[in-house]
Amino acid sequence: MNKDVFDYFIKGEKKYEVIIGLEVHAQVSSNSKLFSGSATKFGAEPNSQVSLIDSAFPGMLPVINKECVKQAIRTGLGLNAKINNNSVFDRKNYFYADLPQGYQISQYKNPIVGEGKVLLDMPYGSKEVGIERLHLEQDAGKSIHDVDPLNTYVDLNRSGIALMEIVSKPDLRSPEEVNAYIKKLRTIMRYLGTCDGNMQEGSLRADVNVSVRQVGDKNFGTRCEIKNVNSIKFMQMAIEYEANRQVKLLDEGKKIDQETRLFDTKKNETRSMRSKEDAHDYRYFPDPDLLPLKIEQKLIDDLKKTLPELPDNKKERFMNDYGLNSYEANVLVSEKEISNYYEEVAKLSDKKLAATWMMGDLFAMLNDKGLNISKSPISAKNFAELVQSIKSGEISGRIAKEVFELMVKSGDNPKKIIESKGMKQQSDPKELEKIVNEILTKNKDKVDQYKSGKEKLFGFFVGQVMKQSGGKANPQLTNEILKKLLKG
């Protein structure tokens, strides 16, 4: 989508816009759980990271993990949000086999983080998405239904792990914006080190609220909540399906029921899970086992000071200091590792050319190989040398592509490759003049035609010089010499 005007509308009998709000559940990066000392490693043996607290034995009491609180504050600061000095943990009561306490400790009326905002770079310009709140809560365990035909097994490793629920305002208007929003949130949290954002491992999931309204309407339509979608692609598909379903209902003059729906990834459709009438009554009340969470302003200020540079600031700096345009800067700050790599390269080479080559050949190669930039076969230092060789005219862009390929294969330094393969550009004017003269002599007829006005033939002469030099002739110099000699 490279349009510079927003145009995501659903066309029914009338034109509808889609209103989307997300509740993102992001697993806090921490060594232990929110209220117990159990480990949080992914992929451990079932029930190997479970304490008496996580399994809700009689008389066990929760004690808040301060590191998780700090992570929530850092995230809140990264979302330009208000950190609440007083917040409260509540119990959300419901029965399920993988919820040992019979309640989830969450934050209901008084979350740790209040309103904030996130900036998205859309092709049609910058878009601000409001954050309603961020709160801390416990994850539940996992019910495993597919191991035994008659029994359900429960794995409590995840029970009690800290989650941040980040609730957006209903500010998103298209699946593309949702894509950009999730990626931006993930980038911010990865910069902060507060959530690894690994969707395959379930570290980032979302409940998606979707409603539609006729373009021009001020009021929101009735929304449906699609529960627990765990990939951006599925979120986009679910929204697409759900918005069209709602528009169809409206066109048929039917009402939309407020309900919770599930996205069936196999059939690519959403299905009703429960209606508003059947909604759980969670009987929230303040958890009497925990005192209200008081956060000293000093702690917030101290954390603020140690916050790393965030993507929005880095982008601005890249534009100001390195002369990048908004698009380039955006791509290069999208991941902390990418921005680090770029900065290393930019330190040693032409900043603009480095950006172009990184976003072109380097990204294409990494993408092709399915590699993260931290695993790149070309080191930042070598890549910078390659960029400098192009910039100085030592090699041409075409040769540079060959050198690049060899660098990927060998991991070698580009200088070494250029020298050992004799790929240096022919930039000696005398040598070049000799070649040009030879070509012109051989093609007397064409020279005459050129001189009588067939100027298109210039390209032919360049091609011949390149051929003769094995592609190494400096193109700029070749042009100059050709022009000079053809005049004479």
Partner 1 sequence: MSEIIKKNLSEIIDLIKKKEIKSEELANLYIDKVNKSKKLNSYITTCFEHTIQKSKEFDKKPNLNSLLPGVPLAVKDLFCTDGFKTTAGSKMLENFIPQYESTVTENLWNEGAILLGKLNCDEYAMGSSNETSYFGNVINPIAKDTVPGGSSGGSASALAADLTPATIGTDTGGSIRQPASFTGTVGLKPTYGLCSRWGIVAFASSLDQAGPMTKSVKDCSIMLEAMAGFDKKDSTSIEKRKENYSKNLKTDVKGLKIGIPKEYRVENMPKEIEELWNKGKSILKDLGADIIDISLPHTKYALPTYYIVAPAEASSNLARYDGVKYGYRSSKGNDLIEMYENTRSEGFGDEVKRRILIGTYVLSSGYYDAYYLKAQKVRQLIKKDFDENFGKVDAILTPSTPSSAFKIGEKTNDPISMYLNDIFTVPVNLAGLPAISVPAGLDKKGYPLGLQLIGKTLDEQNILNVAYAFEKNCNFKNEIKNWWL
CB of 64 to partner 1, least distance (A): 7
Do strands 269-275 and 259-264 pair parallel, antiparallel, or not at all (unpaired)? antiparallel
Smaller CB distance to partner 1: residue 102 or 397? 102
Min CB(21)–partner 1 separation in Å: 22
Minimum Å gap between C-beta 99 and partner 1 is 9
Residue 115 is given by DSSP the state -
Which one, 1 or 291, has the nearer CB to partner 1? Answer: 291
The H or E element spanning position 128 is strand 125-138
Looking at the Cβ atoms of 249 and 290, the one nearer to partner 1 is 290
Q: Which residues pair with 31 in a beta bridge?
A: none
| Min CB(60)–partner 1 separation in Å | 8
Shortest distance, position 284 Cβ to partner 1, whole Å: 8
Question: Looking at residue 140, what DSSP letter applies?
Answer: -
Helix ranges (DSSP H) in 281-378: 297-305, 311-322, 326-333, 336-348, 351-357, 363-369
- Give the C-alpha separation, 118 to 187, whole Å: 11
CB of 37: closest distance to partner 1 in angstroms? 10
Q: Is the Cβ of residue 105 or residue 239 nearer to partner 1 in the bound state?
A: 105
C-alpha distance from residue 17 to each of 185, 229, 441 (Å) = 24, 22, 69
Residue type (1 letter), 307 = L
**Least distance from C-beta 107 to partner 1, angstroms?**
15
CA-CA distances (angstroms) from residue 205 to 10, 32, 83, 245, 279?
26, 20, 23, 23, 21
- Summarize as ranges the residues that interact with partner 1 (CB under 8 A): 52, 55-64, 91, 93, 95, 97, 100-103, 152, 154, 281, 283-285, 288-291
What is the rounded CA–CA span in Å between residue 18 and residue 243?
7
Instruction: Name the packing angle between helices 458-469 and 475-487 (round to 10°).
Output: 130
* Nearest Cα residue to 134 out of 235, 24, 32: 24
For the chain, what percentages of helix, strand and coil (3-state, to nearest 5) are there?
40, 20, 40
Measured from the CB atom, the residue of 58 and 422 that comes closer to partner 1 is 58
Residue number, 132 or 287, with CB nearest to partner 1 = 287
- Shortest distance, CB of residue 283 to partner 1, whole angstroms? 4
Q: Which is nearer to partner 1, 273 or 348 (CB)?
A: 273
**Please, which residue, 44 or 52, has the CB nearer to partner 1?**
52
**Residue 147 Cβ vs partner 1, minimum distance, rounded to whole Å:** 16
- Start-to-end CA distance of the chain, whole Å, equals 52
d(CA 10, CA 213): 10
Other C-beta atoms lying within 10 Å of the C-beta of residue 49: 23
166 closest CA partner among 252, 78, 250:
78
Alpha carbons within 13 A on the beta-carbon side of 401: 6
DSSP 362: I
CB of 94 or CB of 327, closer to partner 1: 94
Per the CB < 8 A criterion, the answer to whether 86 and 292 are in contact is yes
Q: Which is nearer to partner 1, 290 or 457 (CB)?
A: 290
Side chain identity at residue 18, one-letter code: V
